[in-house]
Every structure is written in structure tokens, then in C-alpha cells.
Structure 1
Amino acid sequence: MPEPVANQSSAAVPPATGVEKSTIDLAPPVAEQAAPAVTLPVSTPQPVPTLYESVKHQQEAPVAQRRVLAEDLQWNLSPVKKLSDLCINVLVSRFEAPLVPDEEYWQRKSVVTFKLCNVRDHGGSWKRLFFESNVQKILEDFVPQYGGEQEMDLMTQLDLGAPYINKLQVRQLRPTDYDARKTEKEGGTGAGSLHGRSSHKFTSGNGDGVHPDHLNLGMVFSKLKNLEELDICYSVRDCGIEFQWEYFGMTMNDCVYLSDVLKSNRVLRSLTVAASGIDDDRCHLIANALMENRTLKNLDLSHNLIGDAGARAIATVFTNPSSPLTHITLANNKIGQTGGTFLATALLRNPKLVQLSLRMNFLGDKGGSAIFTALRENTTLQQLDLSCNQLGPTTVAAMCTTLKLNTRVPASLDMSCNKLGHGDVAKDLLRSTTVEAGKPQGPPKLAAVEDGREASEDAAGKAIFDAVSQNKYLTHLDLRMTGVSQEFQQAIQGIVNENKSGL
């Protein structure tokens, strides 16, 4: 029998040398392990972050750490300014080259846009001319509509032109619902209702019809902070066959709007409201507002319906010591002898009035003589216009007495279109006129005539000639269409020209 083969694992164990085993190790032998291999670290390629991801990471990092308090209502992340805006600001702040003048542009723009362009009426500035003419056109075409968008457009245009507008001349103001009524008539639906004024008037609280209102001037003045001169007319131009009486005239509401402006405005220096149907009641409202105004110097209420009561209200204004009025024009109204007396009394106490125009009224001899009597104590009035006032010989006598005082008041006098050379009083003037030695005698052939029409003409002419020859300060005297003969007019004008050249 073959001998059993020993375990290979035990056979592989080398025999012990020098020491004998006392026991037999039954554990399996451990195989000899080889030296561990060196493993090199292998790096996995990572994607390179883009610029966007880097910026996003930087922005999200503080956001993740930020704690927003809901009760902090004042917290707000201020937006970052655009780079384009920053560049523009830097360029503007460091721009040293001279700017190109823009007057040539505004000149071309104005000539193309408007038919009449007189730059002298706008301070010599084409830019002013364009903006003032543009706003004028907008106001003239504006139709007030409650709740309409046209009002917002008007405010926008006023904001744009406000820095350059110093003077406005508005030749028409359209009433409320003007376009609606015009369209109604063109369509034929309201032809029968357009005959009466009351058909298109609003109804007030007491049931009475009132005219439709126009543009609220307070809204305009709230934007135009530099407006110094305003010439406005409450009427409609070129209405054609759509003519209606309610298109013309200032309503009481319009007058209240204007009065509120005069009370609060501190810039306006000249106001003209002509041909607007201003009667005594409306004149009272304007006069009360002028009592609180401290800047208005020129007031023109020509071609209205102002009577004696309105003249009294105006007289009260310029007797106020704090009133700055220096020029007043009340031409073509209904002021009679009583109103002229009120104005004459006011002249006695007014220390500022320089120019007064009362032409085309009804002062009569009584009113005219009262004014000339008041001028004997007035020291400021330089220009007086009493043309076309039904003046007569009584006024001539008062005028001659005033001129003989040889004062500086008045320097300019308009007496045209009055019957100064007619009436029995003219003959009395001729008899009472005495000529001192060494003074101009006037045309001798006319001075000797004492009968008929020529006597009356020569009487007034001789009296005026004698008075003017004693005055060295009168530089303008208009005697056209007064009944004074042509010869005396030429002689008087010669003395006036000498006075003018001597000053």
C-alpha cells in the first residue's frame, strides 16, 4: 500500500531548528502575502464653471444667508443704475466743447408751423415764439369737457412750454360742449332747438339758464409760473353759420375763475380782457380781486358793457394806496357822466396812475369837465384819451384852465371826435377869451369872425390855442373832427411840436 501523502501545507513549513516542538500545531499554515501594490490617485475631470454660474453663485450666497423681516416695511433693494446712464452722466459732466445754439432750429420750426412769426413780440427769442404760439393755438382749440382726456394733454403741453412762456394772446375761448352742439346742428337733429339761447344753457340751482363755462384759467396759471402778460377774449372766431349768442361773453363762473387767479397770482403784470361781455356785476368781482393784487400794472377792459357802477368799482381800485395799477383802459364801454365823476374823484387821490383811456364812452360835458378839474391837483397822469365822448364847450373851458397852469399833467391829450366847437357856450368862450401881450395871436382872419358856425369853431380853436401857448409840457394833442378849424389846428400843432423838440 502506498504511503499516505502528507498535507502540502504542512510540508511547506520549514522544520524548526534547534527547538523541538512539544505540541503539534493543528492550525492551517498562513500563506506568505506579497507586498501591496502602490495605487496612484486618479482625479476625475470637473467641468469649469462659466462666468454666469460664478456670478449667480455669488448672488445666491448672500441671499441664502439673508433674513427678511416681514415687519420691516422700509426695506428695499435699490436698483443698480444702467451702465449707459452712468456713461452719459460722465460725458455730460466733462463736456467742455461749446454747445451748438438752437435759435436757428426754433426759427425754422416756427416758420414752418405758423404763418405769422414776429420775433419782436416775443422778446427776440424764436424759442419763446414757438412755445407761446403753440400754447396759444392749443388754448384756442380747447373745448372743456368734464372728465375728458383732452385736459390731460393740455396739462402736458403746458408743462413742456412753461419755462419759456412769458406772454400769451388768446383770441378765442370755446365754451363747454361746443363741438357737440356743432355736430348736432350739422346732423340736423337739433335745428329747431338751436334758435333760443336757453336751449343750450346749463341749469343752475335756481332753475335759471346760464351760459356754458369756458376754460378754467386757474388751471392754466398753475402751470405757467412765468406768465407776465395775458390778452384773452371770451368769444369764438370763425363760427360761420354755427353762430350762437352763447358763444360770446364771460360767464359768472369764468369771472370767478379769473378773480381767484388775480387774488393769488404774484407774477402777472398786464391783463387784457376785451370784447368779453363784462358788465357791472362781473366788473365788481374783478375789482374786488384787484384790491388784493400787488403786481398787476396794466388793466385793459375795452369793448365791454361796463357802466357807471362798474366805473365806480374800478375807481375804488386805483384810489387804493397799495394798488400798483399805472395804466387803465376802459375804451368802448357804457360809462356816463356819473361814472366820469367817480373816476375824476379817484384821480384826486391817485399817486400812481400814468395812463387813462376812456375813449368811446358817454362822459358828456359834465364828466369831461370833472376830469379836467381833477387834473389840476393830479401830478402823475401823463396820457389821457377822451376821444368820442360827447364832450362840448364846457369841457373846453375846463381843459383850457388846466393847460394854462403849465404843469406836466397831462403830456399827451386826445380830444378827437368831440363837438368842441359847437353850441352857444362856444360863443361865450370867444367873448371871454383875452389874449395877453407877447403871446401868439393865432390866425387873425378866423379870430375876427364872430357869427354863425365859424364863430363857434373859432371860439373853441382860439381858446385852445391861447391855453396851449402858455403850456410848455404838452407834447401831443389830437383835435381831429372836433369842429376846430384847420388853421387853428395847424397853429396849435406847431406849438406842440416846439414843446416836443424842447424837451
Structure 2
Amino acid sequence: MMPDSPLPADERNVAGDARRMRRIITEDYSWSLAIIPALTDLCLQHIVRNFQHNPLLEKLLPKHRSKVLEQLSTSLPLPVTTNLISCEDYWRRCSSERWQTCDISHYGFSWKRLFFEKHLENLIECFIPDLTDTGAMCSTAELSKDYIRRLEIQQLLPPVKVEMRKEDEADDVSDSGSDAGGDLPSMDHFDLNLIAGSLCDLEELHLVYGVKGCGMNFEWNLFRFTDRDCAALANSFKTFKKLKVFQLHRSRVDDEKVRVLIRSLLNHPSLVHLNLSHNQISDRGARAVGKLLNQSQLQILNLCNNDIRPHGAQAIAHALTKNSTLKTLNLRLNHIGDEGGQALCHALLQNNSLETLHIGSNELSEPTTSVLAHVLSQNTSLKNANISCNRIGLDGGKQLLEGLSENKTLLECDLRLTDVGQESEFYMNQVLRDNQERARVEAQQTQRSTSGLER
């Protein structure tokens, strides 16, 4: 017969309960001593799990809505989240999980705008003509139309099947890349007209008709802006009425194509910045650009690294004599020579709006600097001049110093690799520092006056 337990009955019961508790925990690993969640939390978890099929958000209290947004998956379909979720923190999570670098300062400090612009850019850059579904592209553009202001397209892919042209047959084959009409793809690159109707508020458009990272698979055929591409792009300008900045570079754009584009941009209601750098534009294209200067509100024009020669520079100079809106002109890395350089400098005697002129690496020499020196003694609008990488020489440097000594407005002058001489460069830099100090003092006085008027 077992002896009676030395413990009182109550203590024996407690000990028994403890043994049973330990046994239950050991045998059932899913059992927990944690407090049962509140009914509110259970409901919120249910909303999160079923959000795709029942996107309940607006009817929640603010504190409950915040909890749901913190737990929502970033992989939810865009048709569900686009117009329903405006919380910036949610779109920050979506963007950070997808892209390593996210700088919202370029997107109006809006995470939602950053996400949709980069998302659409990726779709366009991966689009393959006659292979990628255009319906999905159009629906995405329509869905995100209220959040797209800028598109920066770093590549545009050609069709998979492209008939390659030999170098010696380039003049005999059409610019579309195929001489067999029945085998032509429906488009040579992505056609912006497919989504232009959904992007009526687009303000900036940057395009490169080429393939990035092609490596050892490089072929010139991958970097071709064709006639069909040009016609389609020109037609899209009719829809992009709010376009302020247009950049088409590194795309082998020649004179004929730039003339087609310029024809569509004449009298554009809002274009202020045009960048056609790193292309194949020569004098005929430059004359078309000169016509654009006379019929638009352009403020910035970049034609860097093209094939513009004296006659093209003269056409642009002639337009400058009548233009009153252009503030920045970049003709670096062309071949305008002294004939073109002198024409541009003479134009500045009549132009009162241009503030920045870049004519570096243009085969200029002393004749151009003698005219520029005369201009600097009279022009009061030019603030930044770049004539680097030209054969100015010692005499040209002395003439520039003489003209600059009478100038009170020029703040920057790049004279690198011009052989103007250390002495002339030293005294010119001293004049520039005096002008910069004078401009700083005037800016402070203007700011004080403005503050006084506001009070």
C-alpha cells in the first residue's frame, strides 16, 4: 500500500497541474501560452490576407488602416492598389524592394510617381516588337496615367527577326532594315503612339534607340533610328502637348530625320528644352533647328557631338539674332571652325537672352577670339562661356583679356587646353572673380528688397 503524500491536497493539485501543463507543451508543439489575439487584430489580419479579392480600406478607422497598409504585400496586382492606396510608405516599400537606387527628388518627392514611372520605363525597355503583348502595355499606361510626368528610356529593342544589311548595300536597302515588304515587322521599335493617349500630361521624354549592354553581340543594326520610328515619334508630338523636355541622343539621327522631327515641333506650345546630342546632324539639320529657334519658346538647345560645320553654325547664328528666349546653347564637339564661330559671336551683339555658350572642341582659333573679345566688351547677358580645346594661342588670349576687362557680367569662362598663356589666364580669372563677387552682392541686395516688400 502506497504511503500518503507528505504534501497537502492543494499543493498536490498545483503540482499535478504543472506536470500536466509540461506534458501538454511537450506533446503539442503548436500549443502556446501567448495571449489570444484581440478580435480587432484577427479581423485586420483577415482583411490583409483577402485584400486582393476584397480590398477593404476606406471604411476602416485611421489607426486600423495604418496597420493594414503596413502588412500589405507589395506584390498585390496594380489594378487593385493603384487608385486605392495613396500612402507614400506603401509605395516606398514597393519601390525599395524592386530597385536598389531610388531618389525621389527626381520624381517630385513622390514614391508613388517614382514607382509608376520606373515601372512603365522597364516595360518599354523590355518591349520586343511583334513578341511582347501590346494590350498589357496599354492597360498599364492607362492605369498609371495620373502619375506619369517623365519617361527616361535607356534602350529600345528591335524586332527579333531583322534582316541584316551589309555595309556595301546600305544605300540600296530601305531604312526599315528589310527589302521584303511581306516580312516587315509591324514596328521597328516600340511605338509611343500605342500609349500616347494615356500620357497626355507627359512633361519630359528621354529616348535612346539602341541596346544597352549588348557586349560582344554589338551590331550597328541595334542602334538604328529608322524612317518608321521617326514618323511614329513625330506623330506622337501631336498628343504630347505638355512636353517641356525632349531628348533624343545616341541614336544616329541624321539630317532627314531631324527635319521630320523639327517639322512636328514647330510652334509646339510648351517645349523649352531640346537635346539632340551625340547624333549625325550636319548643316541641313542645323538649318532646320535654326528655323525652330524662330518659331518656338526654346530656352535650352543641346547639339553636342554632331557634324555641324560653318554653314550650319551660320544658320543657327542668324536665328539667334532674332531669338529672345534661348538661354543655353551647346555646340561642343562639332566642326564649325572660325567661320561658324565668328558668326555666332557676331550674333551675340544683337542677342540679349543667351546666358551660356559652349563652343569647345570646334577647331576655333584667334579670328574667333578677336570677335568674341569685341562681344564681351558690349554684351551684358552672357554669363558662362566655354571655348576649351581650341587653338586660341597667346595673341588670342591677350585679346580676350582686353575684351573681358570691360565686361561686368561674365561669371565663368572655360579656357582649358587653349594655350592662352598663364599670365592672360591669371588676369582673366581675376576679372571673373570680381564679377562673381559683384553678382553675389547684387543678389543679396535684391533678396533684401524682396523681403522688405513682402513684409
2:327 alignment partner in structure 1: 354
Match among 298, 304, 312 for residue 339 of structure 1:
312
CA contact (8 A) 2:165 2:177 kept: no
* 2:349 maps to amino acid: R
* 1:116 maps to amino acid: T
Match among 410, 419, 433 for residue 497 of structure 1:
433
Deviates more, 1:339-348 or 1:119-128: 119-128
Shift of 1:107: 1.9
Match among 276, 293, 296 for residue 301 of structure 1:
276
CA spacing shift, 1:355–1:204, aligned 2, 3 Å? farther
Match among 217, 224, 232 for residue 242 of structure 1:
217
Question: Is residue 385 of structure 2 the alignment partner of residue 410 of structure 1?
Answer: no
Question: Is residue 191 of structure 2 the alignment partner of residue 216 of structure 1?
Answer: yes
Q: Determine the C-alpha separation between the residues in 1 that align with 2:432 and 2:144.
A: 47
- Please give the per-residue CA displacement for 1:188-237, whole angstroms capped at 9, x wherever unaligned: xxxxx8684779932266x9999971111122322222211011100011
1:453 alignment partner in structure 2: none
CA spacing shift, 1:109–1:466, aligned 2, 3 Å? same
Deviates more, 1:326-335 or 1:255-264: 255-264
| SS across alignment from 1:202 | coil
| SS across alignment from 2:144 | helix
CA contact (8 A) 1:201 1:212 kept: no
2:32 alignment partner in structure 1: none
CA contact (8 A) 1:211 1:251 kept: no
* 1:414 maps to amino acid: N
CA spacing shift, 1:227–1:284, aligned 2, 3 Å? same
Question: Is residue 107 of structure 2 the alignment partner of residue 122 of structure 1?
Answer: yes
Q: TM-score, normalised by structure 2?
A: 0.74
Shift of 1:351: 1.6
Runs of 4+ more than 4 Å apart = 88-101, 197-200, 207-212
2:39 alignment partner in structure 1: none
Shift of 1:152: 1.0
Question: Is residue 405 of structure 2 the alignment partner of residue 472 of structure 1?
Answer: no
Deviates more, 1:90-99 or 1:475-484: 90-99
1:434 alignment partner in structure 2: none
1:289 alignment partner in structure 2: 264
CA spacing shift, 1:264–1:157, aligned 2, 3 Å? closer
2:235 alignment partner in structure 1: 260
CA spacing shift, 1:99–1:389, aligned 2, 3 Å? farther
Question: Is residue 119 of structure 2 the alignment partner of residue 156 of structure 1?
Answer: no
Match among 392, 403, 406 for residue 365 of structure 2:
392
Shift of 1:127: 1.5
* 1:472 maps to amino acid: K
1:420 alignment partner in structure 2: 392
Q: Determine the C-alpha separation between the residues in 2 that align with 1:310 and 1:302.
A: 12
CA spacing shift, 1:90–1:196, aligned 2, 3 Å? closer
| SS across alignment from 1:369 | helix
Q: Determine the C-alpha separation between the residues in 2 that align with 1:483 and 1:204.
A: 56
Match among 103, 109, 119 for residue 88 of structure 2:
103
CA contact (8 A) 1:354 1:383 kept: yes
CA contact (8 A) 1:165 1:226 kept: yes
Deviates more, 1:357-366 or 1:238-247: 238-247
- Please give the per-residue CA displacement for 1:282-317, whole angstroms capped at 9, x wherever unaligned: 011011111142111100000000000000011011
CA spacing shift, 1:90–1:228, aligned 2, 3 Å? closer
Shift of 1:408: 2.1
* 1:460 maps to amino acid: G
Q: Determine the C-alpha separation between the residues in 2 that align with 1:194 and 1:90.
A: 55
Match among 416, 420, 435 for residue 484 of structure 1:
420
Question: Is residue 179 of structure 2 the alignment partner of residue 203 of structure 1?
Answer: yes
* 2:373 maps to amino acid: C
CA spacing shift, 1:283–1:89, aligned 2, 3 Å? closer
CA contact (8 A) 1:274 1:303 kept: yes
Q: Which runs of 5+ in 2 are unaligned?
A: 1-53, 67-85, 440-455
Q: Determine the C-alpha separation between the residues in 2 that align with 1:204 and 1:316.
A: 37
Deviates more, 1:232-241 or 1:373-382: 232-241
Shift of 1:108: 2.3
CA spacing shift, 1:212–1:225, aligned 2, 3 Å? closer
Q: Any residues of structure 2 matched to 1:183-202 within 5 Å, and which?
A: 196=166, 201-202=177-178
Q: Determine the C-alpha separation between the residues in 1 that align with 2:278 and 2:303.
A: 8
1:133 alignment partner in structure 2: 118
Shift of 1:90: 12
Q: TM-score, normalised by structure 1?
A: 0.67
CA contact (8 A) 2:224 2:251 kept: yes
Q: Determine the C-alpha separation between the residues in 1 that align with 2:132 and 2:397.
A: 65
CA contact (8 A) 1:201 1:210 kept: no
1:30 alignment partner in structure 2: none
1:315 alignment partner in structure 2: 290
Q: Determine the C-alpha separation between the residues in 1 that align with 2:260 and 2:64.
A: 52
Between the two proteins, the alignment pairs up a number of residues equal to 361
Deviates more, 1:294-303 or 1:98-107: 98-107
Q: Determine the C-alpha separation between the residues in 1 that align with 2:57 and 2:310.
A: 71
| SS across alignment from 2:321 | helix
* 1:255 maps to amino acid: C
1:271 alignment partner in structure 2: 246
- Please give the per-residue CA displacement for 1:329-365, whole angstroms capped at 9, x wherever unaligned: 1000000001111111111111211111111000000
Q: Determine the C-alpha separation between the residues in 2 that align with 1:142 and 1:135.
A: 11
CA spacing shift, 1:196–1:487, aligned 2, 3 Å? same
* 1:168 maps to amino acid: L
| SS across alignment from 1:256 | helix
| SS across alignment from 2:353 | coil
CA contact (8 A) 2:199 2:240 kept: no
| SS across alignment from 2:341 | helix
Shift of 1:156: 2.0
Aligned identity (percent) is 32
Q: Determine the C-alpha separation between the residues in 2 that align with 1:331 and 1:411.
A: 19
